[in-house]
Structure 1
Amino acid sequence: MGKSYHAVKWAESTGSPLTIFTSRRELYGQYEKWCEEQGLDYLVLPAFHHECETIGEDHPIEGRIDDLYESGISGAEIHREAKRYFGRDLPCQLDGPCQYMEKREFDPENYDVLIGHYLQAHNRDYIEERYVAIDEFPGDSYFFEPTHNEATRAVSNYLRAEDTLPFENWKDLHRRHDNEEHETVVSEWKEEMGFYSHRDTRITLQRSPHFHAHAPLLTHAAIEFDLLENEWEYAELGSGRVAVRTPEDEWTILIPPPFYAAESVVALDGTPTIAKWRMVLGGDWIEHEEVLDSDEEKREYLGDVLGLKIKQTDAGAKPYQSGSHVNVDSDGALLESIHEEEGSRPAVITSKQAKEQYKSTDVQQHVEVAEHYGNLKGSNKFAETRLGAIIGSPHPPEGEAVIRWGAIDGEAISRKVGEDGRVTKGMNLDFGGYGNALFRDVVEKEVLQAIMRFSRTPSEDEHGATVYAHTSRLPYWVEADERLEVNTWSKGMVEVVGAIRDSEKWPDGEWKNGEIAAETSVGDRQVGELMKELDEEGYVTHRRGGRGNAYHWSNERLDEFSRYGRVV
């Protein structure tokens, strides 16, 4: 629908200042091109790890910089206070100011459009009194995820310097924080923290090996944690900030940027999960505008507007994230069939693990180019590709993709137990209503987004694409134009055909079951059954005669026999 382009077009037509946040620097170029076409003054926001010459140049000090940055000290603060932190200037400052710091010296009012990464939304100067567009869901960009040891050490270090709270260290706080005698003191401390004063930058603390600027927020979370029914813990910290903790004591802190400072914010997402957007933006004030508000309109959009023809197999869920369930034979049968049927090789979207397994087999010769799900956000790589295959569905760790997001919303989510008493899985996987919505967000919607990556740019003589979906994980409203069944050959069948095609009598001779069995690990009787199957499929013909009225098999079209299987 061109939503990204039209955000820039809106800035040109209204004259309003716009800031765009997206996922990767590779996507900035497209925005720069659009701004130039519209005659807009734009600036790509300077990024610490990209602009600073000290980073990535194998300087001995780089590791110490990274440690300090991970402790919550900003790149700008590291440069401004380099002598305090390191006793000397940074290598990038020896011949004058660092180019990163120089590029930060600009007035946002001088630019119609600012372009940057999701994380840069934390800098209030980039959003204040500007309109903001967030291109696609930012995922976990606004998460801070310390380990248990990092969090508890930071809290203990903070408590040693914080006289207001009556706790000596993490263990003392964990044991006594909810005692009534401390209620007044703790309440006063929380009030003094204020909405966004969650950082501690005291010089004395920064010299500690366990310093962390987010220690006040971690301490606040430790005081507020409540136990959910699934053994996760949840703490509401104000201003949209939320902390959750797993049963294994791994922490996640959600810190939304100060979007309240913007004139307004638009979230661009073709397949949104509203609850997750509400969480990452830090408020309940989202207005959801559906462009296509019925299932019929959505189907018309896929078929008539995008020109997509979807052919879907009966493959089931095919969760391919881990790589342990990749079925190379089934995938090969489909890709080989597509190659033969369409006369060209498809572009493939699958998991990173499946891509690697294809490279070590004959499957790769039926793939034009492959990409994995994790590298698709905002990508136009297949914008002019007319033939594609989506193989398998993404299935990220449930703790991160479903249970954690539920916990951040204060909901306890876990897999349901079926009527047979077993935990649900496969196409019967069930997390309950809200949990299923979160799961669909990272599975069914990702598969649909992958399909819609094809043929986004029509040409003069071509429009649309044919896309094969080798997974059943599609939104319920999507209706395939064609249903396919993929059947793979058994190991014995491959051996039998190989023996025939390798024999001296190939291709015009005759073969009996015993002759074939002698060249394979398959017995006479099983060879007979496999040859009858080939006969039914039209690959061979037979006559009967001689001793015992034996079968004599002849080649009909075994040269067309596919390596992996067949598609019906």
Structure 2
Amino acid sequence: MSNKKSNHKVPTNSSINGLKQVRKRVVSHISDALTGNDAVLLEALPATGKSRGLVKAIEQTGEAVTVFTQRGRKEQYAQYKQWCDAAGLSCKVIPSADETCPTFQGDYGEDQQRRVQKLRNAGGTPRRIHRHVDPPCKTEGDCPYENALDFTPADYDVLVGHPTHAYVKRYLENRIPVYDEFPAGAYLEKIPDTPSAITDFLGSHNLPYQDFHDLLNGRTDPARRRKALRKLSSTQLMDEKGLFQEQSPAVHKLAGLCVLTLLEGEDLGNGWEQAILGKWKVGVYDQGNADIYILNPPDLPETILGLDGTPTESMWNIALGLYDRRQRRLNPRTVLNKRERREYITEIQNIRIIPTTTHVRPYSGVNTNPKRDAALLHEVEMSTDGDVGVISSRQGIDDVKSELDSFGNWKSTHFGNLIGSNNLGNVETGVILGSTHYGDEFVKRWGALAGESIKSNGKQGLKKSYGEFGDEILRHMREHRVLQALFRFGRMGTPTTVYVDTAAMPNWIPVEANPRDTNITPWKSAETRFDILTHLQKQSQASTGKISKKVGCSSQYVRDVLNGYAKKGIVEKRERPHEPGGAIIWVDQSSDAINPYGEVVLPDHRKATRYSKLRPYSNTKERVGNSPPPSLGSLRKKREQKKMGEAQKRMRRWSRQNEMERWYWS
């Protein structure tokens, strides 16, 4: 495909007039949120410039801001620093022990590294760990991490750090916290080895239970429960100091809250319990796995801003401890309405979305389909003149790489590495394989945090439902993840085609083909047909009888198969010379171009007038005529010509490729 930017303009009846206007609107919304006295959740689709727009809004409003993001520190944090420097804003990246402390980095050996990491996993903060255990990085003076912490936040317009830095009050004092993308599990902690943590806490605090199992079975005894609650009311339930005791150190900082979760828990009737643990804290207990999760969000100021390309409002409120505080919930706002979002995809980002299946195809664990994926990827690669980008689960990527003879000129990433990723931004043909599903327990866990009893209806695919609240969580982990994947390709406004091999897309997404027109059949499911074509290719021409005898199937089946391929131009049906009476011979035409992984027919693009933008990053507009999608046949010819290299072969295949083109578009 061409690397030139599209030279179409947005229709005159459109309310958005190019990417520059969209990004100005983003800055305006962010500025309003920063200067208001409200908690705001702003929806701005990917590639609308949320992060850079935030810096511009800070420049315009003069507000002091702390940005929290979970993206890759070095890439994203350095980008914020660069933008701030260009805008004349002072910016400080909050230090991380993993990047500045030699002990955490393993410079003093794996044993020392495991020692400090174990304490952190038990709830200890790196700063307190340095204060109490004297790691080897302090033998020659202060640790570089401690030195880096010695700064005054008020000296900086912008602080940038991880969401867990919000626990430090001085990073929020007289500043507005801004969350760049969903903080997910930043404040939700799964307690490692819950039974051991609880047993340790019970033994060290003289509670009327011997161990985890005694607590679990005896918590229904009113007298024992009252005695335990009285004891807990005068006990420090979040005891970080206990981690550093020389004798019998605590197993986990939050073990006391785990005990309270079991004592106060309300059975939701779906294998989960929920307990309100005090100010914004919630504990949930997974009865089936004996796991406890503690939600412990920081104390945030009145003005909060959340930025998200695909927000789920209820999950944001839960994560920040605002779900039950009805006077304090995030106020949802959106940059683009539903019609504008469609225009943004098709007219400004210039993305053509080609669905290739009517099934959800959840990829979780080992549940993948590498043979189907290989057939689709090979067909897409042969139909484009450039790199192909692939997004799937981590296992899906590994499996299809193993299935293919070579991974070609492809770039890939997995669903868990999408937010803020631009490594596929210059790829103009993309394929999304499958969708994400973290399992029923993921949905139940987030429901339990809100006190909702979530149950699956037991159905599969698009008919699967967890009820009104649970379906919001389902869309978050499935449809929203696919939507994020769509925007990873061709982020420079160049014409981009994305083949989506899952039906898990938001229903407002504009598509340009009917997925029912797609056929993807791995040869494993059609081995005999593949054997027929392979034999004909080797022989160049053969009779029905010879093929039938060689392959081991009936002559009628051979005729049916080859008649079908004759209509598609793959083989030619000729009468035998000097043998009247209807005797025929089959002649190979294009079977060397047959997909070696399966039989694939991709759907037609819809024939429609296309509009886009001449220069997405400027105000220049120009109207041109229609912009039909690139001809699949012409792209296939270009690919074949480049691979053959010899002029005679190119001429010999010219007519055959035309036949293939007519077949694909028939």
Task: Give yes or no for TM over 0.5.
Answer: yes
Q: How far 1:355 moved relative to its partner?
A: 1.3
Q: What corresponds to 2:93 in structure 1?
A: 44
Instruction: Give the drift of 1:135.
Output: 1.1
TM-score (norm 2): 0.75
Offset at 1:160? Answer: 3.1
Report the CA distance shift for 1:325/1:383 in structure 2 as closer, same or farther (over 3 A): closer
Query: Within 5 Å, which residues of 2 pair with 1:277-296?
Result: 277-283=316-322, 284=325, 285-292=328-335, 294-296=337-339
- 8 Å CA contact retained: 1:254, 1:280: no
* Residue 516 (structure 1) aligned with residue 563 (structure 2): no
Match for 2:451: what amino acid?
Answer: G
What is the CA–CA distance in structure 1 between the aligned matches of 2:244 and 2:316, rounded to whole Å?
38
Deviations along 1:432-475, whole A, 9 cap, x unmatched?
Answer: 222122111111111011102223334xxxx3522221211101
Q: 1:473 aligned to 2:504?
A: yes
Measured after TM superposition, the shift of residue 382 of structure 1 is: 2.4
1:109 aligns with 2:154: yes
- 1: CA distance, partners of 2:197 / 2:210: 13
Counterpart of 1:16 in 2: which secondary structure?
A: coil
Change (3 A) 1:319 1:547: farther
The amino acid across from 1:71 in the alignment is A
Check conservation: 1:243, 1:251, Cα contact below 8 A.
Answer: no
Distance change (3 Å), C-alpha of 1:560 and 1:161 = closer
Q: Which residue of 2 aligns with 1:90?
A: 135
- Kept after mapping to 1: 8 A contact 2:361/2:502: yes
Partners in 1 of 2:401 and 2:224 — Cα distance? Answer: 62
Preserved CA contact (<8 Å) 1:333 1:567: no
**What is the SS of the residue equivalent to 2:241?**
coil
Structure 2 CA distance for aligned equivalents of residues 136 and 16 of structure 1: 20
Shift of the 193–17 alpha-carbon distance from structure 1 to 2, 3 Å rule, reads farther
Match of 1:86 in 2: none
- Alignment root-mean-square deviation, CA: 2.6
1:303 maps to amino acid: T
Q: 1:184 to 1:396 in 2, by over 3 A?
A: closer
- Once residues 305 and 348 of structure 1 are traced to their aligned partners in structure 2, the CA distance between those partners, rounded to angstroms, is 22
Question: Aligned partner of 1:113: which letter?
Answer: V
Distance, in Å, in 1 between the alignment partners of 2:101 and 2:135 is: 10
| CA distance, structure 2, for counterparts of residue 67 and residue 153 of structure 1 | 15
Equivalent runs, 1:151-550 vs 2, <5 Å: 151-162=194-205, 165-181=207-223, 188-189=230-231, 192=234, 198-202=238-242, 207-208=247-248, 211-260=251-300, 262=301, 264-283=303-322, 284=325, 285-292=328-335, 294-329=337-372, 331-362=373-404, 364-365=406-407, 368-400=410-442, 402-416=443-457, 423-458=458-493, 463-484=494-515, 485-488=518-521, 489=523, 490-503=526-539, 506=540, 510-520=541-551, 522-544=553-575, 546=579, 549-550=582-583
When structure 1 is superposed on structure 2, of 176-185 and 314-323 the one drifting more is 176-185
> Higher mean Cα deviation, 538-547 or 447-456?
538-547
Amino acid at match of 1:457: M
- Whichever residue aligns with residue 426 of structure 2, its letter is E
- SS of 1:407's partner is helix
- Percent identical pairs in the alignment equals 29
Of 33-42 and 523-532, more deviation after overlay is shown by: 523-532
Hey, what's the Cα distance between the residues in 2 that align with 1:557 and 1:151?
Answer: 63
Between the aligned partners of 1:363 and 1:292, the Cα distance in structure 2 is: 45
- The alpha carbon displacement at 1:266 in A equals 0.8
Moved more, 226-235 or 292-301: 292-301
Distance in 2 between the 1:41 and 1:310 partners?
41
Q: Distance in 1 between matches of 2:385 and 2:492?
A: 22
The residue that corresponds to 1:556 in the other structure is 589
The CA deviation at 1:365 is 4.4
Pair 465,139 (structure 1): closer, same or farther in 2 beyond 3 Å: same
2:166 is matched with which residue? Answer: 121
Partner AA of 1:553 in structure 2: W
Structure 2, gaps ≥5 residues long: 1-47, 604-666
Query: 1:512 Cα shift?
Result: 0.9
CA distance 1:227–1:13, change in 2 (3 Å): same
Separation in structure 2 between the aligned mates of residue 476 and residue 203 of structure 1, nearest angstrom: 50
Q: In 1, Cα distance between the equivalents of 2:377 and 2:111?
A: 49
Name the CA shift for 1:529/1:169 in 2 (closer, same or farther; >3 Å): same
SS at match of 1:414: coil
- Indicate if the aligned counterparts of 1:130 and 1:263 stay in contact, CA closer than 8 A: no
State the partner residue of 1:71: 122
SS, match of residue 81 in structure 1: helix
CA distance in 1, matches of 2:246, 2:196: 13
Per-residue CA distance 1:371-424 (angstroms, 9 max, x = gap): 111111111222333222212111222212x121111111121221xxxxxx31
SS in 2 for 1:317: coil
Asked whether the 8 Å contact 2:378–2:595 carries over to 1, the reply is: yes
Letter in 2 for 1:472: A
Asked if residue 22 in structure 1 is aligned to residue 69 in structure 2, the reply is yes
* SS of residue in 2 equivalent to 1:290: strand
Deviation at 1:66, TM superposition (A): 2.2
Match of 1:12 among 59, 62, 65: 59
Counterpart CA distance in 2 for 1:204 and 1:64 is 12
1-structure distance, mates of 2:189, 2:309: 27
State the distance in 2 between where 1:114 and 1:210 align. Answer: 33
Unaligned runs of 5+ in 1: 83-88, 417-422
Higher relative contact order (CA 8 A, sep 6+): 2
Which string of whole-angstrom CA distances, capped at 9 and with x for unpartnered residues, describes residues 457-499 of structure 1? 34xxxx3522221211101111202234133252222222222
Cα distance, 1:218–1:441 mapped onto 2, change above 3 Å: same
After TM superposition, the runs of 4+ consecutive aligned structure 1 residues lying more than 6 A away are none
Q: Deviations over 1:352-385 (max 9, x none)?
A: 1221122223375455211111111111222333
Q: What is the distance in 1 between the residues matched to 2:297 and 2:243?
A: 25
1:35 to 1:65, Cα distance in 2 relative to 1, 3 A:
same
How far has the Cα of 1:275 moved from its partner?
A: 0.8
SS of residue paired to 1:296: helix
Query: Once structures 1 and 2 are overlaid, which stretch shifts more, 333-342 or 26-35?
Result: 333-342
User: Post-superposition shift, 1:234?
Assistant: 1.3
For the structure 1 residues 364 and 399, does the alpha-carbon distance in structure 2 shift closer, same or farther, using more than 3 Å as the test?
farther
Contact 1:153 1:210 in 2 (8 A): no
Which moves more between the two structures, 108-117 or 337-346?
337-346
| Shift of residue 193, structure 1, vs aligned partner | 6.0
| 2:178 pairs with one of 114, 128, 133 | 133
